[in-house]
Structures are given as structure tokens and as C-alpha cells.
Amino acid sequence: ISQMTNRLREREEEFRALVSGVRDYAIFTVDVQGRISSWHVGAQLMKGYTAEEAIGMPFAQLFTPEDRERGLPQHEMGVAAETGEFKGEGTRLRKSGAPFVAEVVLTALRGPRGELLGYLKLTQDITDRKRVEAERDQTLRNAESARVAAEQASRAKDEFVATVSHELRTPLSAILGWAQVLQRRVPDPQTLKHAIDAIARNAGMQARLVEDL
């Protein structure tokens, strides 16, 4: 029995040394009632509570009021108790009330007969990672919007050029047509007047188009 006790004590000291050296994660345990039962240095650094402040506190206090209202802490414990582990992401609160985005794992701790002893909670602050991902997604959306806008502008330019070409070609064709008639023969006075009027009218139309452009 003494050897088993010593081995358990050694394992506990190894575990304490391990979690004390982990500063990028908040590691703590929760009892079956949902109260914090142990609190390690990573948890203090991330969340701002000392061990004296945290131990005995409902771990639901680390959630936002909205998530507490939705029963998310109880949901995490229920899933972990039923399946062995809960994994997820969500907003958590520091002691100051400042929110941060967390990736969490809640693992059920069971005794030799399978009885539920509590839970081990592992929390990682992924706020910076989420910010970088959001900025990358926004950059991709901006690039896509710019590409669509460029395609629309290109189509609009092509349509504009086609319209202008058609509008300029119409009076020009009439001018060239009547000029060719006058070049081939000397028309009668009535035809000559009609030709000159048509040329003048279409030249005026083309001049107005050029001014509009």
C-alpha cells in the first residue's frame, strides 16, 4: 500500500510540474458540481484569477452571461460525462471582464469503478489566430470583390465602345454614301440639295456625339 501511495504521490508531483510549466494553456480541474477544484499557473496567467480566488468558484463564471443563460457550462459537462470529452470554441471572460476567443477541451475524470470524479479543463487563447484568419478572409473577400468589379467595368467598357462605334458609324455611313453619289455624277438640283442637307444633318449629328464623348 505504501508503494502504491508513493507512486500516486510521484504521479501527482509529475502532473503538478507539467501543468506548472505550461503557460500557453489554462489547465484546471472542476468537481462534479461544476466548481473549480484546482487552478494552475497557466490558468492564472490567461484568466487573471489567483488560485485562492478561483478554487471553489463555479467554472460557469468564466463564461459570458449569454452562454450561462443558454446553459453552455452544463452542456459541456453533460457531453464530457456522456462521451468522455467535450471539444469546442467560444468566447470566455478574464477576471477583468475582457472577452477572448478560446478553444477548449473538457475531459471527464473517472475512478477505478468508472465513477465520475470531476473534469479536467484545457483552454487555449486563440484570439490572435482568429483575428489573423478573419483578416485573411476579409482580404480574400476584398480581392474577389475587386475581381468582380474589374470584370463588370471591362464589360461596361466593351458595351460603351460598341455603342459609341455604332452611333458614330450611322451618320458617317450616310455622309460617305452621299459623298460617293456626288463623286460619281453631277445630280439634278433637287438631288444635290437633298444630298447636301443629308450630309450637313449627319455631320451635325456626329459633331454632337463627339462633344458628348
Task: Convert the pLDDT of each residue in 140-167 to its tens digit.
Answer: 888 888 888 888 888 888 888 888 777 7
pLDDT of residue 133: 82
Residue 120 has a CB neighbour count (10 Å cut-off) of 19
State whether residue 56 is helix, strand or coil. Answer: coil
What pLDDT is attached to residue 62? 96
Cα-Cα end-to-end distance for the chain: 99
Kindly indicate the confidence band of residue 7, based on its pLDDT and cuts at 50, 70 and 90. low
- Tens digit of each residue's pLDDT (9 = 90 or more) over 28-87: 999 999 999 999 999 999 999 999 999 999 999 999 999 999 999 999 999 999 999 999
Q: How far apart are CA 101 and CA 89, in angstroms?
A: 7
pLDDT, mean over the chain: 85
The more confident residue out of 103 and 185 is: 103
Asked which of 11-25, 85-99, 106-120 is least confident by mean pLDDT, the reply is 11-25
Residue 49 to residues 25, 59, 66, 119: CA-CA distances in angstroms?
14, 12, 21, 19
Nearest to 107 by CA among 97, 121, 88: 121
- The continuous run of DSSP H or E covering 116 comes out as strand 116-125
